[in-house]
Chain A
Amino acid sequence: MKELDLLKKDWQKNTNSFEQVSEIEIYKMIHKKSSSIVKWILIISILEVLLWTCLSVCFNSDDYLIKMKHPELIQYFEVFAYFNYGVILFFIYLFYKNYITISTTASTKQLMSDILKIRKTVQYYVWYNLAMLVVSLIIGFIIAFVYNPEMSVLKDKIATNGKVMAITIGILTLTTLVFLGAFWLFYRVLYGILLRRLYANYKELKKIDL
């Protein structure tokens, strides 16, 4: 291609036409803060992990269970809580491991895939917590219905009236769906803005190698 050769010649001829940056300026630059995408993903991810860990640690159901007058439930919940801590630690380990593998000297494709892996880990963590939340809600409702004496009026109504039951289930399902939908949308927007270009470039690179 004739035009490309022309461009190449011109490109190489113009190598020295840039305004040179002095050593002092470079010194200043390396002490400035990076605003790279990895930094933003890292900040947001740490906030996410902190938020969800706080929620799951702080949200203590013991008082409620004691009120139910069924202390054996507390034991089950303790096992559940330990399991949960284990999972949190495992995720933090994965997150850290993925983060330190990020290297700007890797190939472009590898670097992209490493960044997306960090993202995935955190995403799984968020989904795990959301799932836990839904499971807890369901268990909470069941316990409320089965053990909570205050619920007996509603219980009787549901048992005799199919309409009340349908409405109750409907409201519970709807609440859960709206909740999940809001989260999904939030993540879409948040990471959509951050990762759109990276995803596009990653797809392009993968397409070349198909």
Chain B
Amino acid sequence: MSDNLEHSFVKQLQENQNIIHKICRLYTNGDDAHKDLFQEITIQLWKAFPKFRGDSKFSTWAYRVALNTAITLYRKTKRSINTIEFEGRQHFLNDVEYDYEEEEQLKLMYKAVYQLNDIEKALIFMYLEDKDYQEISETLGISEVNARVKMNRIKGKLKKILNPLGV
């Protein structure tokens, strides 16, 4: 019975692991921290799995547990700085035909996102994942209206980081 549960969990997690990778990418810098958070999220998901009834999709459920772990439960073991050197992330862009201006913009954009705080990152993350405001508000536990307002503020903040002089 418990072996079955374990098997079903591992299989589903393996298929949906990119959700966790993406959250790790946003909340950590460096491979070690990435692996560390990935492991903690996996443990938390496994602990919560017996209560997962399957009335929502595995992925929807995983989003929430993973985000909660990253924002709330995870203890950063090493001191890490939020502003990341983008050079380490370049492999994400490799397979594109190079548009230099676009690439430069993307670099700056990623850099700007890393400067946001944990909660702002969560909102941006769900936005990038195409989640609607209802899901964003339910996941974070804030009202839908306020989630919208906050999202607009974050956009403003990003603009300011990209263009501090406002020209």
Contact = CB atoms under 8 A, between A and B. Distances in A.
Bound pair: A and B?
A: yes
Interface of A: 1, 3-4, 6-8, 10-18, 20-23, 26-27, 29-30, 32-38, 40, 103-112, 115, 194, 197-198, 200-201, 204-205, 208-209
A12 B39 contact: no
B75 A35 contact: yes
Given A27-B10, A208-B142, A36 B74 contact: yes
Given A4-B109, A32-B43, 17 more contacts: A3-B158, A4-B158, A18-B18, A18-B25, A23-B11, A23-B14, A27-B6, A29-B42, A30-B43, A104-B64, A104-B73, A107-B138, A109-B140, A110-B141, A205-B119, A205-B140, A208-B149
A209 B71 contact: no
B39 A36 contact: no
A6 B143 contact: no
Nearest to B73: A36
B14 A22 contact: yes
Given A109-B141, A208-B119, A208-B146, A10 B44 contact: no
Contact of A34 (B43, B61, B68, B159): B43
Rank and list the top 9 A-B pairs by shortest CB-CB distance, nearest first: A107-B141, A109-B141, A18-B21, A36-B73, A30-B46, A11-B128, A204-B119, A29-B42, A34-B43
A40 B17 CA distance: 27
A208 B120 CA distance: 10
Contact of A105 (B64, B110, B149, B162): B64
Contacts of A15: 18, 22
Contacts, number: 163
A110 B122 CA distance: 15
Q: What's the dominant secondary structure at chain A's contact region?
A: helix
Given A10-B93, A40-B75, A108-B141, A1 B106 contact: no
Contacts of A208: 119, 142, 146-147, 149-150
Contacts of B73: 36-38, 104
Interface string B54-80: 000000010011011101111111000
A36 B74 CA distance: 5
Nearest to A109: B141
